Amino acid sequence: MKTIVRYSVILFFLIGCSKSQPPADTILFGKIWTGNTAKPWAEAMAVRGDSIIAVGSEADMKSYEGKNTVTNRIDSGGLIVPGFIDTHTHFVEGGFRLSSVQLRDAKTKGEFSQRIKSFAETLAPGTWITGGDWDHENWGGELPDREWIDTYTPKNPVWINRLDGHMSLANSAALKAASITEQVASVAGGTIVRDKRGRITGVFKDNAMNLIDSHVPEAPADLEDRALEAAMNYVAKRGVTSVHNMSGYMAALERAHAANKLRTRIYAGMPLSQWRELKNKIDKQGRGDKWLRIGCLKGFVDGSLGSHTAAFFKPFTDSPRDSGFFITPEKDLYEWTSAADKAGLQVMVHAIGDKAIHTILNIYDRVEKENGARDRRFRIEHAQHISPGDIGRFASLGVIASMQPYHAIDDGRWADKIIGSERSKTTYAFRSLLNAKANLAFGSDWFVAPPTPLEGIYAAVTRRTLDEKNPEGWVPEQKITVEEALQAYTINAAYASFEEKIKGSIEPGKLADVVILDQDITSIASEKIREVKVIRTYVGGKLVYER
């Protein structure tokens, strides 16, 4: 009887294997970096529907070819990689910024003012001017003043942010619209900048920004939808197939999802203080699907380095009486994190200064001990300036370092001036974190920085600052390899949103989110990586961008 059963099983197996394999919709031939550490390289891949069905050699694909199968052969020298995942964006805001006044590269005070003047001339009276993304370091570090622009904008409130989003400039019309006078009181966790006479200059930092934010009119739904559409088009050209949206514009995301208009996969967050609302939302409608998922909460410990609002143990080198501050009281951070964690939600907290990072690591450690073991995947967003003693704690506590490598080549132009060379040694400490076995995931922080993974990889691998004054790299000991950077933008990034089983690598059964590059970034000179172009971007097997 046992013999008959054994032969029956063998016969069934042979019959099953002899059945023809349903053909693929698409087969791509070319050099493939799979992101699968067990089999990192392949020659071809087959796609059916929205999923990958086979990865291997060219010969392996013959059984998947049918009369309607589309085959594409990538030119020699190109490279196929998993779709890039940007783990830190302000996605719809980024879309709005595409049509706002552009100040990021304004090099002088005069150019700053002139661009605002020219933009204001295109607007109807009363229309607010927002966005901007200015960088005062471009003209030597002097903060802007409303006097620079008041003459040009008497009928348009102006509320334009520094590129890091942690301070903004208001003109006099905006101050009037917000009913702010010279007698306005100070704000905890923020700064209202005044000149030597005590006059409000128009610059507000962190929590003080709320004084004006609350008076800026909300964009109508149709403009939100257009901004989301613009954002999806913009990142598709850069090879981004998934983003993590830190918070905001949930209704716009849900409208696009309901209308089947999403072409970028989105992991959407809400503010940490709103953990109850997110828990109730999940209880009613679930966590979503492969296009739009919810479940994460974004909190803040401190501000930013460029705004001198990041929290450090020791004072800033260029401002000996100032060491930054906490935006959120430590007590609130702990209570919200603990409650959110008990509710089964993922917590990710912005922390930039060494004191801020140390504090949130302590909170994570405490919450894990109190709430018990589970797969929680706490994240620290930015994790920029780490105390040497805290580097190993990322791995030991299982905390994901969600970092943005472009910031390193941007801030590296002036960071030594603010924190000194000694603290810079563990700034954007990619190599040290990987050596400590921490999970490193990459993103952009768009709108703060461009959502361009190839530039991010270039930054992580070369650390050559934007001013070209560090050809060997700023803090070169923190460089990582191209493949390590690719992992941070793909499989590690998928892990950071609990999605590593469905995307992040080119493997059978995973979503066919794929990017084709015109050069093999693993073999060219590292300084050439930023010149590489995206040829095609596929999301779920569908072509969403072609150069």
Q: Write the pLDDT tens digit of every residue in 121-154.
A: 988 899 899 988 899 999 999 999 999 999 999 9
CA distance 349 to 492: 18
H helices of 170-288, where? 172-177, 210-213, 221-236, 250-258, 275-285
Interior angle at CA 357, CA 365 and CA 332, nearest 5? 70
Across the strands, what pairs with 543? 538
CATH 3.40.50.300 fits 2-73, yes or no: no
The per-residue pLDDT for 235 is 98
CATH 3.10.310.70 fits 97-213, yes or no: yes
HEC secondary structure over 378-394: CEEEECCECCHHHHHHH
Distance (Å) of CA 534 to CA 41, 62, 168, 413, 499: 19, 27, 34, 28, 24
Secondary structure of residue 508 in the 3-state scheme: coil
- The set of residues, in sequence order, having a beta carbon less than 8 Å from that of 523 and lying 6+ positions away, is none
The per-residue pLDDT for 2 is 43
The mean pLDDT value of the chain amounts to 94
- The set of residues, in sequence order, having a beta carbon less than 8 Å from that of 447 and lying 6+ positions away, is 90, 93, 94, 97, 131, 133, 165
Cα-to-chain-centroid distance, residue 384: 14
Sign of the C-alpha dihedral computed for residues 287, 364, 384 and 83 taken in this order: negative
Digit-coded pLDDT (tens) for 324-376:
999 999 999 999 999 999 999 999 999 999 999 999 999 999 999 999 999 99
**DSSP percent split of the chain into helix, strand, coil, nearest 5:** 35, 25, 40
Secondary structure of residue 421 in the 3-state scheme: helix
The per-residue pLDDT for 5 is 42
| Ramachandran area for residue 495 (φ above 0: left; ψ -120 to 50: alpha; else beta) | alpha
The structure's pTM equals 0.88
Domain ranges of the chain: 2-73, 85-89+219-546, 97-213
Question: For the sheet containing 265-271, what is the strand order?
Answer: 84-89, 240-245, 265-271, 292-300, 346-351, 379-382, 400-403, 440-442
Cα-to-chain-centroid distance, residue 336: 23
CA distance 403 to 386: 12
CA distance 400 to 496: 7
Burial class (CB in 10 A: 0-12, 13-18, 19+), 450: middle
Per cent of the chain over pLDDT 90 is 88
Distance (Å) of CA 383 to CA 303, 355, 427: 12, 11, 8
Closest C-alpha to 322, from 349, 339, 303, 335 = 303
Interior angle at CA 158, CA 153 and CA 160, nearest 5? 135
The per-residue pLDDT for 127 is 87
Fold classification of 85-89+219-546 (topology level): TIM Barrel (3.20.20)
Report whether 348 contacts 379 (CB < 8 A).
yes
Closest C-alpha to 315, from 302, 306, 325 = 325
The per-residue pLDDT for 410 is 96
The per-residue pLDDT for 20 is 63
Report residues of the chain scoring pLDDT below 70. 1-20
* DSSP H/E element including 55: strand 51-56
Pairing of strands 379-382, 346-351: parallel
